[in-house]
Structure 1
Amino acid sequence: MEEAQKRLQAELDKVLGPRRAQTSMQGSGGGTVLNFNGGTVFFGNGNQINNVFRLQPKITVVQNCGGTLDASQKRRLLDLRDQIVGVSRVLEGHQVMPATVMRRLNSHMHVNSYAEIAADLFERAESYLVRWRSRLEGMPGATKSPGWRDRRVQAIHARCKELGCDRWRLNYMRKVFGKVSMIDLSNEQIDKLYRAVMDKK
């Protein structure tokens, strides 16, 4: 029995690596109970159950040292991820999964998890996802995605505020569309206005 236990111990060590099992008690009928990291392995003979494993799943711990993203910054990145996924769903041949977005973000930022992104690099991570979303939203059919119009209008207002060109925007709308309120514009007109504003220097 001792030799068999050693063989099983060796097999467990191969699977568990540094999480070595240690014998904690002898069961009846010559069986043995091994405990390790809160998991249990039962093996034995006679009326005992053989080779039943209850192992804790492997857990990846992200070291969140000072200077990483706070909760609101993480939420912003996850919201952008969801928007990218939402827009991609209405675009034939461009659908992406949430895990794909985060994997590409992590690769772009050279981290294992978005939670490891340094706080002073948040704008770079945000910009990466915003540009990705904008590329998708500029494709034919993107106007069908949830929130598309609201995001376009918000971006127009933000850009005009940045450039101080609200008067120019109103004149453009009046000249090109014959209207002065974005509420009255169709999605196609909103998109045309968005592109004109974004191209303005």
Structure 2
Amino acid sequence: MPEEEKKQRISRAWADLLGLSGGVEGQRPSNSRPPSINVTGDGPVIVGNGNVFKIHPNITVVQAGNGLIDIAQKRRILELRDQISGVSRHVDGHEMSPAFLMRRLNTHMGVECYTEIPADQFHKAESYLWRLRGMIDGMAGASTSPSWRDRRIQALLARCKELNCHGWRRSYMRKVFGTASIDDLSNDQVGKLHRAVMSRKAAA
């Protein structure tokens, strides 16, 4: 088919589709309205006087990764968020909703949404939530929440890892409690160790 004839057929087909047939070229009759057509999928569409056109819809592809936190890291953040919110319900006047906690985290990380946290800053976000959890765990009433002891130990160990001070922790435990094993400590002693670790400053 000659190129010019092909262009004319396409032009006529679109004119039919838009309700311009029989009118002045490029104008729509005042009493006609163009049809509303929704096209989905990827296949031939017949328009106008039988002309068939292959329509390829625009597809937006969202790529995972791009230097942002992955699914496992997102799950970990949400897990910590839910733990903090759950414990806070046992502390009078300090209840923190999941939404409130995420706003605090987003502000701390300088992002609009936690999913925008760069992968190489995940440790910073996790440490922030650990500190929040340690703070709420240390308040009156928190010890009545399930798994209080385990959370305290996890929080202080995470802080020791962040500060690279496990050696200091073991020395402190031997000096104060006469043991280097956390399993040997009572709940009160775990609480005291937690406070000592959380109050320790990072080395300059």
Report the TM-score, using the length of structure 1 for normalisation. 0.58
Residues 29-40 of structure 1 aligned to structure 2 (within 5 Å): none
In the alignment, is the contact (CA less than 8 A) between 1:69 and 1:117 conserved in 2?
A: yes
Q: State the Cα deviation string for residues 72-131 of structure 1 (Å, max 9, x = none).
A: 211211111011111101001111211221122223223222111111221221122122
1:23 matched to 2:51:
no
1:170 matched to 2:174:
yes
In the alignment, is the contact (CA less than 8 A) between 2:133 and 2:155 conserved in 1?
A: no
Work out the number of aligned pairs and report it.
144
Give the structure with higher Rg (CA): 2
Q: State the Cα deviation string for residues 179-198 of structure 1 (Å, max 9, x = none).
A: 77644544222201222344
Residues 20-169 of structure 1 aligned to structure 2 (within 5 Å): 23-24=36-37, 64=64, 66-157=66-157, 159=160, 162-165=165-168, 166-169=170-173
In the alignment, is the contact (CA less than 8 A) between 1:173 and 1:193 conserved in 2?
A: no
* Offset at residue 168 of structure 1 (A): 3.8
Q: State the Cα deviation string for residues 11-67 of structure 1 (Å, max 9, x = none).
A: xxxxxxxxxxx624xxxxxxxxxx599xxxxxxxxxxxxxxxxxxxxxxx9875510
What SS does the corresponding residue of 1:23 show, helix, strand or coil?
A: coil
Q: State the Cα deviation string for residues 113-164 of structure 1 (Å, max 9, x = none).
A: 2111111221221122122212111111111222220122234456387331
Give the gaps of 5 or more residues in structure 1: 1-21, 25-34, 38-60
What SS does the corresponding residue of 2:134 show, helix, strand or coil?
A: helix
Aligned to 2:50: none
In the alignment, is the contact (CA less than 8 A) between 1:152 and 1:194 conserved in 2?
A: yes
Q: Structure 1 residues 65 and 148, CA, compared in 2 at 3 Å: closer, same or farther?
A: same
Q: Say which structure is richer in strand.
A: 1
CA RMSD of aligned residues (A): 3.1
Cα distance in 2 between the residues matched to 1:62 and 1:105: 24
Cα distance in 1 between the residues matched to 2:96 and 2:79: 15
Cα distance in 2 between the residues matched to 1:62 and 1:172: 54
Q: What is the letter of the counterpart of residue 175 of structure 2?
A: N
Give the gaps of 5 or more residues in structure 2: 1-34, 41-60
Q: Structure 1 residues 157 and 119, CA, compared in 2 at 3 Å: closer, same or farther?
A: closer
| Deviates further, 148-157 or 68-77 | 148-157
Q: What is the letter of the counterpart of residue 123 of structure 2?
A: E
